[in-house]
Structure 1
């Protein structure tokens, strides 16, 4: 599995299709956190929101790297389409983790903050929660599910709005609302960890759905 994840990460790197979502992430984080002097809990809320958008784009780009014949070769070499799908999720997770580390550091460079361990942990956890939801959305809106890119983009936009605006339902909405309304990072850690678990459950459901649909289309 590790060589397969390494292969997918390398292919994405060489294709340069990571540039648009990565530059979007860096640019928006810089704009949203420049000169900020408020509590880091509120600062990391928009950073996590940007991670949601970037992770969707990154995942869709990763899935679209290979055409059907090439993907068939990779599946045959890997020993099954499920292994390739799980490796795709893992590769997207690696890229999102790297972005999350940058997303934790940039607000400290652009703003005036005195961070503690709880603040940094919360910032990382918030971004990974959004990344899990974003990767899941990226999968169900990828070429594995939708043949036409226009439909995929429309569904991705609808799902993004749903997870951002669904009050009391979406783990992303619950987490971002809590971060914006509290200044105590320590108190927010446990609820954020619980929402991260919920987001991982949604990601698992997205993997299962994508696997079922992609097999029927094969």
Structure 2
């Protein structure tokens, strides 16, 4: 698995497909959090939202690195286990998002004026990880393994992103943002945010299983 993750990292760095989603993350973070002040939960909700969009795009890019012929070669080289290839791509996306999370935690503090505590940082980490997991889940489901045509994949990804962001009270993303926008005490948000994180992990597991089922039937 480690070798597959290293291969995926090397390929995405060589092709530079990470640049567009990462630049989008930086741009959104700068627009949404610059010169902020007051309680930190709303600022970290903005960081989490930026990572949500970025992780979706980045995962789709990671899942589309290899054309069908190259993917077949990689599957054979890994012992014929296509699930390992899928998990390696997910692991690469998650590790990439964890690097971006550090920037998402620090940037609002650098550009704004906040009184930060350890609880605030933990809340920001939970919120960003929640959105990263949901974004990765959407990216996996909207990858080439499920949608052969990129146009269909784009429409599906946009629909799922909008469905996660805008329906009021929809867990975990919209519910998370509502909680962080209306409650200034980070300590009170840790438990409900942890619940949203658990839901996000379940969403990722379900979407991964569906993607693997579709890919296995086609292969």
What TM-score does the superposition give when structure 1 sets the normalisation length? 0.97
- Secondary structure of the residue aligned to 1:39 is coil
- Runs (4 or more) in structure 1 with deviation over 2 Å come to 166-170
1:175 to partner: Cα distance: 0.7
- Secondary structure of the residue aligned to 2:146 is coil
1:114 to partner: Cα distance: 1.7
Partner Cα distance (2:133, 2:83) in 1: 18
Partner Cα distance (1:98, 1:39) in 2: 24
Q: Which residue of 2 aligns with 1:14?
A: 14
Q: Which runs of 5+ in 2 are unaligned?
A: none
Q: Which runs of 5+ in 1 are unaligned?
A: none
Q: Which residue of 1 aligns with 2:130?
A: 129
1:211 to partner: Cα distance: 0.5
Q: Is the 8 A contact 1:178 1:188 kept in 2?
A: yes
Q: Is the 8 A contact 2:171 2:199 kept in 1?
A: no
Partner Cα distance (1:38, 1:157) in 2: 32
Indicate whether 1:74 and 2:74 are aligned.
yes
1:2 to partner: Cα distance: 1.4
Q: Which residue of 2 aligns with 1:90?
A: 91
Indicate whether 1:203 and 2:204 are aligned.
yes
Q: Which residue of 1 aligns with 2:141?
A: 140
Partner Cα distance (1:70, 1:118) in 2: 46
Q: Is the 8 A contact 2:41 2:180 kept in 1?
A: yes
Partner Cα distance (1:14, 1:122) in 2: 34
Name the count of aligned residue pairs.
Answer: 218
Over the aligned positions, Cα root-mean-square deviation in angstroms equals: 1.0
Q: Which residue of 1 aligns with 2:26?
A: 26
Partner Cα distance (1:131, 1:22) in 2: 13
Partner Cα distance (1:161, 1:95) in 2: 23
TM alignment of 1:119-198, pairs within 5 A: 119-198=120-199
Q: Which residue of 1 aligns with 2:52?
A: 52
Q: What per-residue deviation string (whole Å, max 9, x for no partner) do you get for residues 3-61 of structure 1?
A: 21122112111211000000100111011111101211011111111111100100000
